[in-house]
Each structure stands twice: as structure tokens, then as C-alpha cells.
Amino acid sequence: MYDQLALFRPYPGALGTPTAYFSGTVSRELGRLALVAGRPAEAEELLHEALDRNRVLGARPYVALTCLDLAAVQRNRGALAEAAALAGEALAIADQLDQPGPSAAARLLIDETSRGRHREG
């Protein structure tokens, strides 16, 4: 699936024929697939790319979702300050757009990174 989806990486995010389906940039989906495949470095690169592209597109719901994905990657590699910042950005957008699921996920990530930083300090 990754290889088939990778063909669309250069395009901004609208896929489809008569009816376009928009889910932000395909780089986010590729990043998530790379993560499932056990390739966290590749996932991180793709999610950074997705975050930049979604910001340029003005795809705010997908900016929030990409921030969450990237925050989880950063948390898993021990970059807790970066994870908390990304989760905070996701929370602000999700609350503004009334996205309860992403908002709850962001709060959870913020709590997890906060606990982790307290243990380090």
C-alpha cells in the first residue's frame, strides 16, 4: 500500500476523479504507514513534510492531526519538549475547530510529556 500511495506524494492532497476527497497531504498517510512498518525516522521526515504542506494548504484540521502524529513520534524518541509543543499546537487548533477527538488526544499527549519531563528533572 505504501508504494502505491507514494506515487501521489508530490501532489498537494486532493485525490479523486469527479469528486475530490481531501485528507490533507498524502505525506501524512505515508508517514503513518512508515510508522506502522517500523520505520520511525522515515515517518518523522514524512510527517514534518506533511505538517509544512498542510500549513501551506491552510488545511487546519489536518495540521492538528499531523501535529498529533508527529508529537507521538517525538514522545517515543524522548523529545518531550518538542512533543509537548506539537501537542499544544494541535490542542489549540482542535479546540478552535471543535474537534473533540483530536482535542482529547492532544490533552493526553500533553499530560504524558509533562509527566515524562517531571521524571527527568
Residue 86, pLDDT > 90, answer yes
Residue 82, pLDDT > 80, answer yes
Cα gap 73→103, rounded to integer Å: 18
3-state SS, residue 18:
coil
Residue with cell 492538528: 64
Q: What is the total count of domains within the chain? A: 1
Residue 64: half-sphere exposure toward Cβ, Cα within 13 Å: 20
Q: What is the pLDDT of residues 2-58, one digit of tens each?
A: 888 888 888 766 555 555 556 788 899 999 999 999 999 999 999 999 999 999 989
- Domain of 31, in residue numbers: 2-120
- What share of the chain in percent tops pLDDT 90? 71
Q: What is the CATH number of the domain that holds 68?
A: 1.25.40.10
DSSP 13: S
Q: What is the pLDDT of residue 91?
A: 98
Helix axes 60-76 and 40-57, enclosed angle (nearest 10): 160
